[in-house]
Amino acid sequence: MRRYIGDRGFYRRVFAILLPILIQNMITTFVSLLDNIMVGQIGTEPMSGVAIVNQLVFVYNLCALGGLSGAGILTAQFYGKGDMEGIRRSIRVKLYIATVIFLVGETVLILFGRPLIQLFLHEGESDLDLITTARYAEDYLKVTLWQLLPFALTMMYSSTLRETGETVLPMAAGLTAVFVNLVLNYVLIFGKFGAPKLGVVGAAAATVIARVVEMLIVVIWTHRHTEKNPFIVGVYRSLTVPRQVLKQVAVLGFPLLVNELLWSGGMTVLNQCYSLRGLEVVSAMNISSTVLNLFFSAFIATGNATAIMVGQLLGAGELERAVDEDRKLIAFALGLSILIAAASSVTAPFVPRLYNTIPEVRLLATELLLIGAAMMPLHAFANSCYFTLRSGGKTLITFLFDSGALWLLCIPVAFFVSRYSSMPILPMYALVEGLNLVKCAVGFVMVKQKRWVVNLVG
């Protein structure tokens, strides 16, 4: 058991990294849940319209995170080595990546937002208005586009701070943004304290303002605390990056960017397949996915802790210790997933009752939550394998492991079943989620082979 359970010092280091990230992710996701509930008080159509647009923005967000992750691998290893100039170069590359992703994302959503929204609108068994839903979605999209640039810049700075050991400040900035978002949602959605009642437009405006506040906190703090962040001194005196660093980031980062694009796009395709069963499925999936994301925050935080801890050990040349601690981190994630699955199952019947929607949507959301809870250990293990492989720079392998499983297994099954069978949504969802077992088996083999144990900056 000592191979899988660490000592007190190990878990102190794990929680020092994990807890700030977990708290930030959980509170951010919890506020997204409250956002959903607030918009849901207006009606099922507004909630569905906002859910569709957020699915599209989700693709942009993950592309930004994936694009920055390639440079982030080097940042963590440069920090483990103590190379401040290397960190400055990785930040400059992140700036270029964030700018390009913002311009592409903004252009796509402006030009193709309306037809993309239409892909999710289908008649179901319930009498819901598709035209009204589309109008709410388009109104929400017009305002939420303004959050894309602040989000990209925030992720650029926050990821660098985490990779260099500072996890508290990004958490504090996230919590502040969450509070701003929550208060402004209440004021602008429902027209409180003399403000106009803006509905879904108010929800979008609140999100944009919160993103700007978070960006300002992270950027200003980083540049004003040079004693804690010596790498930021002179970071923009020159925007040139050595060709070797650009080549490394391209080799590491391009597969991650493509992976996040294909994975987030693949999840959008899956949701579009599910939407063929009716607009009530869109609403129920919105409720269940928002609640499940609250629990999945633990897996995301554990994965980030794995990438940071293992990446720093690899950069410092402590390869055997990196293998040992990675094994214990994977075991920790699995144990945590069982506890979280139990908590998710207990809350599943109650959360959908908070929404002002039809009974059919509430019941369907509860059943989807129970299926999602049963699949949590699979997601936890696969997520840990992904971050392990990524920490050693095996980004091409992670691309095949992550997006390959989605596009070669899950999407073909969902596409065929949704269009060429009458299978109801619940068994369809369980079937597609269960295919992650194959992904776990492949991840186990890849981690066991130890090809990821590489020092990239030695």
pLDDT tens, position by position, 44-59: 788 888 888 888 888 8
Q: Are 41 and 356 in contact (CB under 8 A)?
A: yes
- pLDDT at residue 45, rounded to an integer: 84
> pLDDT grade, residue 374 (50/70/90)?
very high
CA distance linking residue 343 with residue 335, whole number of Å: 13
Instruction: Scan for tokens 């640039």, then name that residue.
Output: 149
Pick from 60, 36, 264, 56: nearest CA to 148: 60
pTM of the predicted model as reported, rounded to 2 decimal places: 0.73
- The tens digit of pLDDT for each residue in 87-118 reads 888 899 899 999 999 999 999 999 998 998 88
Q: Are 74 and 142 in contact (CB under 8 A)?
A: no
- The tens digit of pLDDT for each residue in 153-172 reads 999 999 899 888 888 898 89
> pLDDT grade, residue 123 (50/70/90)?
low
> pLDDT grade, residue 279 (50/70/90)?
confident
CA distance linking residue 282 with residue 365, whole number of Å: 10
pLDDT, greater one: 337 or 259: 337
Helices (H), 348-410: 359-374, 376-391, 395-405
Give the pLDDT mean for 66-72: 82
pLDDT, greater one: 31 or 224: 224
- The tens digit of pLDDT for each residue in 5-41 reads 888 888 888 888 888 878 877 776 776 667 777 887 8
Residue-by-residue DSSP string for 122-165: ---SS---HHHHHHHHHHHHHHHGGGHHHHHHHHHHHHHHHHTT
Pick from 396, 418, 398: nearest CA to 406: 398
Compute, in degrees rounded to 10, the torsion defined by CA atoms 411, 417, 423, 429: -10
- pLDDT at residue 458, rounded to an integer: 63
> pLDDT grade, residue 125 (50/70/90)?
low
Give the pLDDT mean for 413-436: 92
How many C-beta atoms lie closer than 10 Å to residue 261's C-beta? 18
Q: Are 153 and 144 in contact (CB under 8 A)?
A: no
Q: Please give the distance of CA 94 from its chain centroid, rounded to a whole number.
A: 18
Instruction: Scan for tokens 């437009």, then name that residue.
Output: 201
Q: Are 134 and 118 in contact (CB under 8 A)?
A: yes
Using the predicted structure, report yes or no on whether residue 314 has a pLDDT greater than 70.
Answer: yes
Using the predicted structure, report yes or no on whether residue 358 has a pLDDT greater than 60.
Answer: yes
Give the pLDDT mean for 239-250: 80
- pLDDT at residue 20, rounded to an integer: 80
Using the predicted structure, report yes or no on whether residue 134 has a pLDDT greater than 80.
Answer: yes
Largest CA distance in the chain: 63
> pLDDT grade, residue 454 (50/70/90)?
confident
Q: Would you list the domain boundaries of the chain?
A: 8-449
CA distance linking residue 413 with residue 424, whole number of Å: 14
- pLDDT at residue 389, rounded to an integer: 86
Kindly tell me the number of DSSP H helices and DSSP E strands found in the chain: 16, 0
CA distance linking residue 390 with residue 369, whole number of Å: 29
Sign, CA torsion 236/242/243/245 = negative
Pick from 72, 440, 59: nearest CA to 272: 59
Give the pLDDT mean for 215-219: 95
CA distance linking residue 302 with residue 322, whole number of Å: 15
pLDDT, greater one: 233 or 25: 233
Of the listed ranges 128-137, 147-156, 216-225, the one predicted with least confidence: 128-137
- pLDDT at residue 222, rounded to an integer: 94
For residue 138, with 0-12 CB atoms within 10 Å meaning exposed, 13-18 middle and 19 or more buried, which class applies? middle
